Amino acid sequence: MQNMSAREPPAPWQKAVRTYLTVIGFGNLLWEIAQFPLYTIWTEGSRSHLALALVHGTGGDLFISAVTLMASLVVFGDKTWPAQAFWRVGIPIIAMGLGYTIYSEWINVEIRHTWAYSDLMPRLPLLGTGLSPLLQWIVVPTLALFAARRTAGR
């Protein structure tokens, strides 16, 4: 019978996934805090409303990031990821995140009026989507992907 306390060390891809999700979680938490002034909740919301928005936004970002990572790994990944198939997996992650963000910002700002941009939010001319959430889905996943590759290489 195998000793249950003796565990094999995680495979490089497992370390990469753990690192990716950790960096995504903290990165999105910081981004959400930093972009609060770009939304009307900053001046119109209570502290409890701000806290709820922070938890909801960060949790949603983490969920979307996990789904896009897994979908991209299933379709484009292989056992060499993240050392070899880095951008083959990374570009679809970012593309899916951007696509979801454009849809989510449109449906929540323009249709449902769930949240609103303040006058400080720069917006893309044709789409009207806020620039900050779009940059979030480029910058944070890119940093997380590089951190994942670095961790997996150890």
- 16-52 pLDDT, tens per residue? 999 999 999 999 999 999 999 999 999 999 999 999 9
DSSP 8: P
Q: Is residue 113 part of a domain?
A: yes
CA 140-141-144 angle, to 5 degrees, is 90
Q: Is residue 1 part of a domain?
A: no
Residue 154 has pLDDT above 60, yes or no: yes
Q: Is residue 42 part of a domain?
A: yes
Cα gap 7→95, rounded to integer Å: 36
Compute the Cα dihedral for 151, 55, 61, 14 and give only its sign. positive
- What tokens appear for 154 in the block? 């150890």
Mean pLDDT of 108-112: 96
Q: Is residue 147 part of a domain?
A: yes
Q: Is residue 4 part of a domain?
A: no
The b-or-e profile of 87-96 (16+ CB within 10 A means b, else e) is ebbbebbbeb
pTM: 0.91
Range of the domain at 55: 12-152
Q: 130 φ, ψ to 5°?
A: -65, 140
**Residues with Cβ < 8 Å from 133, sequence gap 6 or more?**
35, 101, 105
Q: Is residue 2 part of a domain?
A: no
Q: Is residue 3 part of a domain?
A: no
Q: Is residue 58 part of a domain?
A: yes
Mean pLDDT of 85-111: 96
The total of structural domains in the chain comes to 1
| Secondary structure (3-state) at 122 | coil
CA 9-15-17 angle, to 5 degrees, is 140
Say how many Å lie between the first and final Cα of the chain, rounded.
Answer: 31
